[in-house]
């Protein structure tokens, strides 16, 4: 148990601490690219601290479900964070679930959040829930198919095993099936984390919101948990992408030296992917809601092509 304890604590701390920072970096870079000064990168920490200390106002119509949701969401995303290989190929919870459990747990958090959107009897919340569930429903096949593609190559749904297999191939990033699956998952990432072509995280118009509309009635401590979970989800999905497709620098075990080196590589890769996200966000306009299915079906077709090419280029 002891050898597993330190990695578990380390990765828990890493997920909790790194997630707000990553969100802050993306926000800051986006502002820079738009010729604004932007908030400092550690602004999300201040926000969380402030939310945690603030008084809460709960809707008179809300039920216990509304209070339970932040905890369900926070815990489910945190557990996903422990299932994804970050510094080492061996995530702490590797026996407790692989790719399918990750997708399932993210869906669990979303399910409760969507219910909490309906709970306070507001039209905005319902609208957010409806749109969130719609978009995630059409994003899910693309996500599953691209994960199937890498899982088939590795012969396993165990994420550690997948990363290990890819790390073992010398030119994996040139493999067409890998590139196509990467492209598909990148689109899914934009949809799942509420990024610009799909949702605008910075909008203040209720009618345009998706994620923000669902959490409109939250305040104080609960809002802190939800915002934190959202940034952790973003971190986890980005980790999944960078480590599956570019496993360079990832450690094979949990020794201090290799983990330190892996941390450097990990942060570097995350920053690169954040740069890509920021570029996409800045150079694209938000799509109309009913154009989003087109984007996501493009992702699905990319994933299907990825699958076909594993078959063809074997």
Partner 1 sequence: MEGLPMLLLTLTLWGYVIGALAGLLCWQREKLANLLSFGSATLAALGGLGASVVCLVGDATSFSIRWDFLESAVPYLKFSVRLDPLSAFFLLIVSSLGLALSIYSFGYARGFYGRTKVGVLGAFYNALLLATTFVFIADNAFFFLVSWELMAMTAYFLVTFEHEQPEARHAGVLYFIMSHIGTGCIILGFLLLFQASGGYGFIGFHALGERMSAGRRDAAFLLFLAGFGVKAGIVPLHIWLPAAHPVAPSNVSALLSGVIIKSGIYGLTRVYFDFLGTPPLWWGVTLLVVGSVSALLGVLYALMDHDLKRLLAYHSIENIGIILMGLGAALMFQHANHPLLGAMALIAGLYHTINHALFKGLLFLGAGAVQHAAHTRNMEELGGLIKRMPRTAFFFLIGAVAISALPPLNGFVSEWLTYQSLLQGFGATGSLTRLIFPISGALLALTGALAAACFVKAFGITFLAQPRSVQAERAHEASPTMLAGMALLAVACVFLGLFPNQFLPLFDPLTDQLLGVQISRQLAAPGGIVLSSLGLEAGTVSTLGITLTAVCLLPIPLALWIFFGRAAARQTGMTWACGQKTLTPQMQYTATGFSKPLRIIFKALFRPHRAVQAEFEFSPYFARTIRFESHIEETFEARIYRPLQRFILRTSRRMRALQAGSLQAYLIYIFVTLLLLLILTL
Fill in the per-residue mask, 247 to 286: x = in contact with partner 1 (CB under 8 A), - = not in contact: ----------------------------------------
Q: Identify residues 9-28 at the interface with partner 1 (CB under 8 A).
A: 12, 16
Query: Are 241 and 21 a contacting pair, CB within 8 Å?
Result: no
Backbone angles phi, psi at 217, to 5 degrees: -90, -5
- Give, to the nearest 10 degrees, the angle between helix 64-83 and helix 220-245: 20
Measured between alpha carbons, how far is 226 from 210 in angstroms, rounded to an integer? 14
Q: Which is nearer to partner 1, 104 or 268 (CB)?
A: 104
Query: Are 212 and 128 a contacting pair, CB within 8 Å?
Result: yes
Cα angle 23, 124, 29; round to 5:
20
Q: Which is nearer to partner 1, 17 or 272 (CB)?
A: 17
Q: Which is nearer to partner 1, 166 or 277 (CB)?
A: 166
Measured between alpha carbons, how far is 211 from 196 in angstroms, rounded to an integer? 12
From 6, 34, 95, 255, residue interacting with partner 1 (rule: CB under 8 A): 95
Q: Which is nearer to partner 1, 119 or 281 (CB)?
A: 119
- Give, to the nearest 10 degrees, the angle between helix 256-283 and helix 220-245: 100
Q: Please tell me whether residue 71 adopts helix, strand or coil conformation.
A: helix
Compute how many residues bind partner 1; rule: CB under 8 A.
93
- Nearest partner of 16 among 228, 191, 177, 265, judged by Cα: 228
Task: Work out how close the CB of 105 gets to partner 1 at its nearest, in angstroms, rounded to a whole number.
Answer: 6
> What are 285's two structure tokens?
């306009």
Q: Identify residues 110-129 at the interface with partner 1 (CB under 8 A).
A: 110-111, 114-115, 117-127, 129
Q: Using the rule CB under 8 A, is 52 a contact of partner 1? A: yes
Q: Using the rule CB under 8 A, is 302 a contact of partner 1? A: no
Task: Work out how close the CB of 157 gets to partner 1 at its nearest, in angstroms, rounded to a whole number.
Answer: 4
Measured between alpha carbons, how far is 115 from 119 in angstroms, rounded to an integer? 6
Task: Work out how close the CB of 311 gets to partner 1 at its nearest, in angstroms, rounded to a whole number.
Answer: 7
Task: Work out how close the CB of 104 gets to partner 1 at its nearest, in angstroms, rounded to a whole number.
Answer: 4
Measured between alpha carbons, how far is 192 from 31 in angstroms, rounded to an integer? 22
Q: Using the rule CB under 8 A, is 42 a contact of partner 1? A: no
Q: Which is nearer to partner 1, 137 or 272 (CB)?
A: 137
Among the residue ranges 31-39, 153-161, 184-192, 260-268, the one whose residues contact partner 1 (CB under 8 A) = 153-161
Q: Identify residues 191-220 at the interface with partner 1 (CB under 8 A).
A: 206, 216-217, 220
């Amino acid at each position: 148990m002891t050898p597993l304890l330190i990695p578990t604590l380390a990765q828990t701390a890493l997920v909790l601490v790194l997630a707000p920072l990553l969100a802050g970096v993306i926000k800051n870079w986006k502002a820079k690219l738009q010729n604004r000064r932007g908030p400092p990168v550690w602004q999300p920490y201040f926000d969380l601290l402030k939310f945690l200390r603030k008084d809460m106002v709960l809707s008179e119509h809300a039920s216990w479900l509304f209070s339970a949701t932040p905890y369900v969401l926070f815990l489910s995303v945190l557990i996903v964070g422990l299932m994804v290989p970050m510094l080492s190929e061996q995530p702490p919870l590797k026996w407790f679930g692989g790719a399918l459990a990750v997708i399932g747990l993210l869906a669990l958090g979303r399910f409760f959040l969507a219910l909490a959107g309906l709970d306070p009897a507001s039209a905005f919340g319902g609208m957010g829930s409806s749109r969130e569930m719609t978009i995630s429903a059409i994003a899910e096949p693309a996500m599953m198919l691209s994960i199937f593609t890498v899982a088939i190559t590795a012969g396993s749904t165990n994420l550690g095993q997948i990363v290990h297999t890819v790390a073992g191939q010398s030119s994996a990033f040139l493999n067409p099936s890998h590139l196509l699956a990467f492209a598909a998952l990148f689109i899914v990432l934009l949809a799942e984390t509420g990024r610009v072509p799909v949702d605008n995280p910075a909008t203040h118009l209720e009618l345009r919101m998706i994620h923000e509309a669902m959490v409109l009635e939250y305040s104080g401590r609960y809002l802190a948990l939800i915002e934190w979970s959202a940034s952790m989800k973003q971190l986890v999905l980005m980790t999944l992408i960078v480590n599956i497709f570019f496993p360079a620098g990832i450690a094979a075990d949990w020794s201090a030296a290799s983990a330190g080196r892996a941390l450097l590589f990990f942060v570097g890769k995350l920053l690169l992917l954040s740069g890509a996200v920021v570029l996409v966000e800045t150079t694209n306009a938000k799509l109309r809601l009913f154009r989003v299915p087109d984007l996501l079906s493009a992702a699905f077709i990319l994933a299907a092509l990825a699958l076909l090419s594993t078959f063809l280029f074997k």
